[in-house]
Amino acid sequence: MLLPVFTLKLRHKISPRMVAIGRYDGTHPCLAAATQAGKVFIHNPHTRSQHFSASRVYQSPLESDVSLLNINQAVSCLTAGVLNPALGCDALLVGTQTNLLAYDVYNNSDFFYREVADGANAIVLGTLGDISSPLAIIGGNCALQGFDHEGKDLFWTLLVGSEDFDIRVFKEDEIVAEMTETEIITSLCPVYGSRFGYALANGTVGVYDKTARYWRIKSKNYAMSIHAFDLNSDGVCELITGWSNGKVDARSDRTGEVIFKDNFSSAIAGVVEGDYRMDGHVQLICCSVDGEIRGYLPGSAEMRGNLMDTSVEQELIRELSQKKQNLLLELRNYEENAKAEWSSPLNEADGQWGIIPANTKLHTALSVNLGSETRAAHTELCISTSNDTIIRAVMIFAEGIFLGESHVVHPSIHSLSSSICIPITPPKDVPVDLHLKTFVGYRSSTQFHVFELTRQLPRFSMYALTSPDSASQPLGYVNFTIAERAQRVFVWLNQNFLLPEDTDIQNAPFQVCFTSLRNGSQLYIKVKLSGEITVKTDDIELAGDIIQSVASFFAIEDLQVEADFPVYFEELRKVLVKVDEYHSVHQKLSADMADNSNLIRSLLVRAEDARLMRDMKTMKNRYMELYDLNKDLLNGYKIRCNNHTELLGNLKAVNQAIQRAGHLRVGKPKNQVITACRDAIRSNNINTLFRIMRVGTTSS
């Protein structure tokens, strides 16, 4: 079994995800972590004596091993690494919502301290594209910014879309791949080759290989930190996850199987690696929010990858024998059933044994239900059996539709019947696999036959085919041409919408009209003989989803699209005006603050002068004025804060708009639109921005 090679109990709390190891003097690895009240502590056990590397378990570190760095502001990200290769030592980087500090721990001085208006929520160190020097790249609220060791900002890109459910792969500032997940992505880490680990806000962790998901598991706890480390010495990294309940586990990158686990008494704050004992062996180092730190060495060859403790093995044996018991029980039931069937075929009393006719079939049908006065419109899954058997319960597992991803329906005993309809309301337009387990038997049954099957919910199942209503025709549209026959377009429609069974379209031109089950808005799809397709909707996101769906169905690599969304664009224009206003308010407030600081300085001097002259009355007056000014400054600061929050909210909306304009196109035209929009924003050219969003290029 794998035991920690050292354990430390630091008397400092550790903020989640704010842990880093660096060789700040170029030699000794030291742990740095953000702690309460805007401080960062640095634990350096090496300089004192040889004590640390000699002791196996090290319970009480000296307070003097820990030094504190005052940031005076909540730390929002932290990392360490080589920023200036010429120096040969690591920099400690600390980000807050307003600044980035690159700190020279060894010399107790700043490498640089920069204001970052967009905030620093995440930070990585590394090289990017053809910029040769390492960069500290910070992720703000809507932009990425890269600084070199002098604090020069060498890279900047508007990051379109954050806190949505997508994982995006960038090549420099160009998106090369996007994968949609079911929740906000909280962390990513490289594992091996093109494999990477990811964690979601709903307790999911997993591994992707390029754009394909390899495996995933979901826990009721949250992954606080993920890290790749080869813990069983087989040459391939495992995905190490530190959980909110204090568990640490290592999972095979291929299967997700747990090969090691350990428990802390509080949530894990961070998982890092380093040669903390300085004996040439890198340890996996796990830190809890309570300041407990454990280091693990990879398992030796003798352990043959067997890292679990014996009690875990016993647990496994217990689990397996339980499984065996269950299987035996099941077998006995089958035997009893067979016997009962032999003795008295087709007797209602057999029901209790769960015998259902061998030819019992289960039918499933998906349809749209336009709702009633008491029930909102929804998609409906109807399951029915082919005879007088009843459905006792249905279990549905599907990603992103139900809270907790699964849904159980079990009608009361009085309303049992051979069919059941389950309302489904997917919140987003993504295709979803519904994994169903249906319990079928008789009213008196104590055992049930379980039918397992999977149905796919089409991507646009929340739109019902309706007759057009010219009064509420949408103003927004997209226009594009594809070289496909009308019949093929109909096949796409049929696969992606829930059309009534008798719907059939053979020839262009044709038009279909749908009504959204979510908000009643209309969607028109018009196909001309020439292959020109017009999609009318006021929902720019829906238009984008339809274009992406068409493109992937027909394997279209590049698609240029003409678009207009008058209502949405008008909103966006207002947002842009507000952004301008907030910017100028920001400048004015900054200038006011500078003026006030000068005033404070002079008031202070005059008050002190008065005190030296023993003119207590003037002194008192000056201090009163100072008090008032201070109050004004504080108020001004609050206004500045609010202004900043508003500004960020509006900038996010602008980013989202660019993202959506890109989403209306496919391949090269998509990247061109995003780049051109970003350039237009940078040069503050609003009219160009709207032209690009409409036409797809800068040239009219």
- How far apart CA 164 and CA 655 sit, in angstroms, is 12
- How far apart CA 664 and CA 685 sit, in angstroms, is 21
**Contact range with Ca ion by CB under 5 A, out of 102-110, 232-240, 367-375, 678-686:** 232-240
* 234 binding Ca ion? (CB under 5 A): yes
- How far apart CA 107 and CA 283 sit, in angstroms, is 27
**Contact range with Ca ion by CB under 5 A, out of 227-235, 393-401, 565-573, 667-675:** 227-235
CB distance 42 to 31 below 8 Å: yes
Strands lying side by side in the sheet with 66-70: 19-23, 29-35, 39-43, 66-70
Strands 532-536 and 522-527, how do they pair?
antiparallel
**Restricting to residues 86-145, which ones interact with Ca ion according to CB under 5 A?**
none
Judged by beta carbon, residue 1 or residue 236, the one nearer Ca ion is: 236
| Shortest Å, Cβ 300 to Ca ion | 13
| Shortest Å, Cβ 17 to Ca ion | 24
| Shortest Å, Cβ 236 to Ca ion | 5
| Shortest Å, Cβ 252 to Ca ion | 8
* CA 480 to chain CA centroid, nearest Å: 32
Instruction: Give one word for 288, left, alpha or beta, with left for phi > 0 and alpha for psi -120 to 50.
Output: beta
**Contact range with Ca ion by CB under 5 A, out of 96-104, 200-208, 233-241, 644-652:** 233-241
Judged by beta carbon, residue 230 or residue 273, the one nearer Ca ion is: 230
* 236 binding Ca ion? (CB under 5 A): yes
Number of Cβ within a 10 Å radius of residue 94: 27
Judged by beta carbon, residue 79 or residue 232, the one nearer Ca ion is: 232
Judged by beta carbon, residue 215 or residue 492, the one nearer Ca ion is: 215
E strand or H helix that includes residue 498: none
Judged by beta carbon, residue 102 or residue 231, the one nearer Ca ion is: 231
**Contact range with Ca ion by CB under 5 A, out of 181-189, 236-244, 429-437, 579-587:** 236-244
| Shortest Å, Cβ 227 to Ca ion | 13
* 232 binding Ca ion? (CB under 5 A): yes
Number of Cβ within a 10 Å radius of residue 633: 16
| Shortest Å, Cβ 506 to Ca ion | 57
Judged by beta carbon, residue 257 or residue 348, the one nearer Ca ion is: 257
CB distance 159 to 143 below 8 Å: yes
Judged by beta carbon, residue 230 or residue 484, the one nearer Ca ion is: 230
Burial class for 145, CB neighbours closer than 10 Å (0-12, 13-18, 19+):
buried
Judged by beta carbon, residue 232 or residue 560, the one nearer Ca ion is: 232
Name, in order, each residue with C-beta under 8 angstroms of 185's C-beta and a sequence gap of 6 or more.
Answer: 165, 166, 167, 198, 199, 200, 201
* 183 binding Ca ion? (CB under 5 A): no
Report helix angle 686-695 to 566-612, nearest 10. Answer: 150
* 230 binding Ca ion? (CB under 5 A): yes
**Restricting to residues 426-465, which ones interact with Ca ion according to CB under 5 A?**
none
| Shortest Å, Cβ 169 to Ca ion | 25
Tell me how far apart the 2 most distant CA atoms of the chain are, in Å.
117
* 253 binding Ca ion? (CB under 5 A): no
CB distance 441 to 392 below 8 Å: yes
> Any idea which residue has 């940031």 for tokens?
71
- How far apart CA 136 and CA 155 sit, in angstroms, is 10
Q: Residue type at 332?
A: R
| Shortest Å, Cβ 301 to Ca ion | 13
Instruction: Give one word for 501, left, alpha or beta, with left for phi > 0 and alpha for psi -120 to 50.
Output: alpha
**Is the bond preceding residue 426 a cis peptide, omega within 30 degrees?**
no
| Shortest Å, Cβ 233 to Ca ion | 7
| Shortest Å, Cβ 193 to Ca ion | 14
Tokens of 653: 């909306």
* 336 binding Ca ion? (CB under 5 A): no
CB distance 555 to 689 below 8 Å: no
Site size for Ca ion, by CB under 5 A?
5
b/e sequence 311-325, b meaning 16+ C-beta within 10 Å: eeeeeeeeeeeeeee
**Contact range with Ca ion by CB under 5 A, out of 224-232, 351-359, 403-411, 587-595:** 224-232
| Shortest Å, Cβ 21 to Ca ion | 20
| Shortest Å, Cβ 230 to Ca ion | 4
* 538 binding Ca ion? (CB under 5 A): no
**Restricting to residues 540-599, which ones interact with Ca ion according to CB under 5 A?**
none
| Shortest Å, Cβ 238 to Ca ion | 5
Judged by beta carbon, residue 234 or residue 564, the one nearer Ca ion is: 234
Judged by beta carbon, residue 234 or residue 625, the one nearer Ca ion is: 234
* 282 binding Ca ion? (CB under 5 A): no
Q: How many residues does the chain have?
A: 700
| Shortest Å, Cβ 206 to Ca ion | 17
Strands lying side by side in the sheet with 153-158: 122-128, 131-139, 143-147, 153-158
- How far apart CA 488 and CA 486 sit, in angstroms, is 5
Whole-number Cα distances in Å, 690 to 583, 662, 685: 21, 13, 9
| Of 555, 529, 559, 514, nearest in space to 663 by CA | 559
| Of 82, 85, 72, nearest in space to 113 by CA | 72
> Any idea which residue has 């050292």 for tokens?
6
Angle of CA points 205, 299, 218, to nearest 5° = 15
| Shortest Å, Cβ 287 to Ca ion | 22
| Shortest Å, Cβ 303 to Ca ion | 12
- 3-class DSSP state of 356: coil
Q: Residue type at 300?
A: S
Angle of CA points 382, 388, 394, to nearest 5° = 40
- How far apart CA 541 and CA 532 sit, in angstroms, is 20
Strands 463-466 and 510-516, how do they pair?
antiparallel
| Shortest Å, Cβ 216 to Ca ion | 19
Site string for Ca ion, 376-415 (x = CB under 5 A): ----------------------------------------
Map 311-339 to HEC letters: HHHHHHHHHHHHHHHHHHHHHHHHHHHHH
CB distance 691 to 586 below 8 Å: no
Judged by beta carbon, residue 312 or residue 633, the one nearer Ca ion is: 312
Positions touching Ca ion (CB under 5 A) are: 230, 232, 234, 236, 238
